[in-house]
């Protein structure tokens, strides 16, 4: 028995300093429950990385969701999809029937412009924030002729352009390659428009066993891995191997290859992240990810549409909410309800969420999910 998605919902994604975290979550949850046609659930899994103690209970009790198991999960950027993955297995094991998944984060109340690295971590003590880590990957790709600065910029041009048709994102626009490359430098070679922003938002998904509803979306496969010990001698950049190995698990369960999917939402916290992800997933050979975007193959009208929502570059990165927002987009695409950003004739979609931040391992966690139109 494959668990299916009954309903999805999100808040708006942007800097919402005057909006309480609970209000963002309520908007997403109420939309998802209405979409699912339900008014109660048997359990709730909540993904969040920086929320206060008891946040999940505060959110849910106000909606009358009490006396059921409520689990809060933190797995860096993969917190939301980790909650989704575990909820899926709770249904398929027969533990629960109707499960609510919530991803939520109010980043602007915690950080001004960037997430501060943890001083308890060796890389954190050295000031190695995530932009610097991804910048080193970009530098390596450029230095070894695996990608060009132009190709990196084209990821941002594509995704910020896609977001023009996404009313739930704050950051969007028709940018030129030159405008991307000449925006303020953050971590060489990554400029401001090549980095995701600090954002507030929430997403929600309602899962259950199969039922007679043609709008439900089947979870054909999902996999979760934590990174292996990484001693910096890998032939790949940080994060490549955990995505590759998690994708192998998810695709094996789903019985597909990456190229069988019609639409992708990948973790493009930085432009290089999308290029590395497309290679690790198997859409392109090592060093061909940049050429894939340059040839238009990852555009909405391309062979492998990637991030039609605008991705993290447009939505920003409310850590716990990101993965659930990715699921929302793929469900919307598979239902044919994405409006002007709709990918034509899509039947299978893939979500890739990469969570990082601890030195010595190749990523805190990664979740790959394969969804299919019923």
Determine the 3-state secondary structure of 137 from DSSP.
helix
Residue 17 has pLDDT above 80, yes or no: yes
Q: Are residues 233 and 308 in the same domain?
A: yes
Instruction: Report the C-alpha gap between 246 and 223 in whole angstroms.
Output: 6
Q: Is 174 exposed, middle or buried (0-12, 13-18, 19+ CB in 10 A)?
A: exposed
Residue 98 has pLDDT above 80, yes or no: yes
Q: What strands, in cross-sheet order, belong to the sheet with 70-73?
A: 70-73, 43-47, 99-106, 200-208, 4-10, 217-225, 365-373, 348-355, 263-265
How confident is residue 360, by pLDDT bands cut at 50, 70 and 90?
confident
Q: Are residues 135 and 18 in the same domain?
A: no
Q: Are residues 58 and 161 in the same domain?
A: no
What pLDDT score does 8 carry? 98
How confident is residue 128, by pLDDT bands cut at 50, 70 and 90?
confident
Q: Are residues 137 and 286 in the same domain?
A: yes
Q: By the 8 A CB rule, do 297 and 51 touch?
A: no
Instruction: Report the C-alpha gap between 350 and 251 in whole angstroms.
Output: 9
What pLDDT score does 126 carry? 76
From 91-100, 229-238, 338-347, 349-358, the region with the lowest mean pLDDT = 229-238
Q: Are residues 97 and 127 in the same domain?
A: no
Tell me: the pLDDT tens digits for 41-62?
999 999 999 999 999 999 999 9
Residue 359 has pLDDT above 80, yes or no: no
What pLDDT score does 330 carry? 98
Degrees to nearest 5, angle at CA 157 with 286 and 197: 95
What pLDDT score does 105 carry? 97
Q: The domain spanning residue 71 has which CATH number? A: 3.40.47.10
What pLDDT score does 259 carry? 97
pTM equals: 0.97
Residue 178 has pLDDT above 90, yes or no: yes
What's the chain's average pLDDT? Answer: 95
Determine the 3-state secondary structure of 359 from DSSP.
coil
Q: Based on the structure, what is the number of domains in the chain?
A: 2
Q: Are residues 144 and 79 in the same domain?
A: no
Residue 317 has pLDDT above 80, yes or no: yes
Residue 363 has pLDDT above 90, yes or no: no
Q: By the 8 A CB rule, do 159 and 310 touch?
A: yes
Residue 73 has pLDDT above 90, yes or no: yes
How confident is residue 5, by pLDDT bands cut at 50, 70 and 90?
very high
Q: Determine the structural domain holding residue 207 and report its residue range.
A: 4-107+200-218
How confident is residue 167, by pLDDT bands cut at 50, 70 and 90?
very high
In a domain, 115, yes or no: no
Q: Are residues 49 and 167 in the same domain?
A: no
Tell me: the pLDDT tens digits for 250-308?
999 999 999 999 999 999 999 999 999 999 999 999 999 999 999 999 999 999 999 99
In a domain, 116, yes or no: no
Residue 231 has pLDDT above 80, yes or no: no
Query: Which CA distances in Å does 19 have to 15, 25, 40, 104?
Result: 9, 11, 25, 13
Eight-class DSSP state of 201: E
When computed from its CA atoms, the radius of gyration of the chain, rounded to whole angstroms, is 19
* Secondary structure in 3-state letters for 56-104: HHHHHHCCCCCCCCEEEECECECHHHHHHHHHHHHHHCCCCCCEEEEEE
Q: Are residues 170 and 50 in the same domain?
A: no
What pLDDT score does 362 carry? 84
H helices then E strands: how many in the chain? Answer: 12, 11
Q: Shortest CA distance to 321 belongs to which of 90, 81, 99, 142?
A: 81
Q: By the 8 A CB rule, do 152 and 292 touch?
A: no
Tell me: the pLDDT tens digits for 132-144?
889 999 999 999 9
How confident is residue 3, by pLDDT bands cut at 50, 70 and 90?
very high
Q: Are residues 272 and 188 in the same domain?
A: yes
Q: Are residues 208 and 346 in the same domain?
A: no
| Residues sharing a CB contact under 8 Å with residue 64, sequence separation 6 or more, in sequence order | none
**Per-residue buried b or exposed e for 47-62, using 16+ beta carbons within 10 Å of the residue's own CB:** bbbbbeeebbeebbee
Residue 233 has pLDDT above 90, yes or no: no
Q: Are residues 184 and 214 in the same domain?
A: no
């Amino acid at each position: 028995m494959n668990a299916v998605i009954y309903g999805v919902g999100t808040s708006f994604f942007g800097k919402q300093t005057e909006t309480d975290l609970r209000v963002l979550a309520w908007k997403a949850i109420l939309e998802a429950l209405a979409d699912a046609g339900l008014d109660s659930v048997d359990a709730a899994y909540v993904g969040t990385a920086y929320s206060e103690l008891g946040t999940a209970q505060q959110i849910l009790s106000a909606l009358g969701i009490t006396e059921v198991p409520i689990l809060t999960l933190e797995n860096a950027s993969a917190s939301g999809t980790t909650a989704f993955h575990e909820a899926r297995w709770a249904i398929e094991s027969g533990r629960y029937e109707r499960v609510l998944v919530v991803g939520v984060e109010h980043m602007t109340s915690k950080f001004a412009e960037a997430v501060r690295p943890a001083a308890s971590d060796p890389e954190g003590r050295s000031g190695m924030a995530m932009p610097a880590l991804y910048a080193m990957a970009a530098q390596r790709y450029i230095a070894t002729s695996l990608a060009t600065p132009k190709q990196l910029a084209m990821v941002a041009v594509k995704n910020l352009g896609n977001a023009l048709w996404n009313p739930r994102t704050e950051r969007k626009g028709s940018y030129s390659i030159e405008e991307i490359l000449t925006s303020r430098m953050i971590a060489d070679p990554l400029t401001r428009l090549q980095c995701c922003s600090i954002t507030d938002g929430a997403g929600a998904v309602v899962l259950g066993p199969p039922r007679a509803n043609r709008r439900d979306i089947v979870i054909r496969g999902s996999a979760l891995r934590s990174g292996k010990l990484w001693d910096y001698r890998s032939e790949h950049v940080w994060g490549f191997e955990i995505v590759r190995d998690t994708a192998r698990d998810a695709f094996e369960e789903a019985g597909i290859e990456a190229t069988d999917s019609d639409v992708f939402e990948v973790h493009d916290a930085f432009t290089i992240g999308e290029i590395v992800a497309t290679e690790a997933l198997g859409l392109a050979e090592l060093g061909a990810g940049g050429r894939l975007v340059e040839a238009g193959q990852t555009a909405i009208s391309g062979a492998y549409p990637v991030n039609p929502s605008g991705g993290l570059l447009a939505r920003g990165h409310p850590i716990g909410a990101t993965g659930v927002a990715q699921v929302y987009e793929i469900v919307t695409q598979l239902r044919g309800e994405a409006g002007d950003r709709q990918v034509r004739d899509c039947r299978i979609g893939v979500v890739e969420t990469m969570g990082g931040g601890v030195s010595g391992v190749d990523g805190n966690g990664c979740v790959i999910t394969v969804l299919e139109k019923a």
